[in-house]
Amino acid sequence: MATALLVIGAAFQLGGIVALGFPDLLPGALRFSTWLGRQWRRATNRLRRLVGLKPRAVVHTVGVADEVNVSASISAIVSTSDDASLEDKVEYLRRRDQEAQRRLNEHDDRLDRIEAESPERLAELRGDMETHVAHELSAALEAYRPLRVVGTIALVIGLACVTLATLLV
């Protein structure tokens, strides 16, 4: 009898420790935890109705997101005709130089704006990522809560069995 209690107690303790510390290692742990949570919620809602309180509601939210990206690019090669006069060719080169300078200045302005906005965007993204990770961690802890409660109960039962077995010896 004492040996059986020791073996049963050790099995309960091992199951409780795994359910408490490493619920991801158990196959089907999330599904089992969800099922336990639903059963617990049903039982507490029945008790609340018996006492005369309103049952607790479960709220699910759904969000919709949409994104559209459009981009295009064009390139061209512009040149003067071979029979143009020297003044026309010089005017063409001056105009092309001014266009190149204008594009270079616009490029420098865009680069300055990007360099100025990058630390702000990085800080915003870091904050968003920290919020996301905190939300996912709390969701994971909440998802495994019923399984951890069962793991605690199994650990206590295992300790009780092992203690009773040592007292019987």
What pLDDT digit, counting tens, does each position of 126-164 carry?
999 999 999 998 988 888 888 888 889 999 999 999 888
86 membership: H or E segment, kind and range: helix 86-143
Tens of pLDDT, residue by residue over 14-52, are: 888 888 888 877 788 888 888 888 888 898 889 989 999
What's the pLDDT at 76?
Answer: 66
85-135 residue pLDDT tens:
888 888 888 999 999 999 999 999 999 999 999 999 999 999 999 999 999
Q: Does the pTM of the predicted model rise above 0.75?
A: no
pLDDT given at position 24: 77
Is the CA virtual torsion 15, 17, 20, 25 positive or negative? negative
Residue spans of the domains in the chain: they are: 2-56+85-168
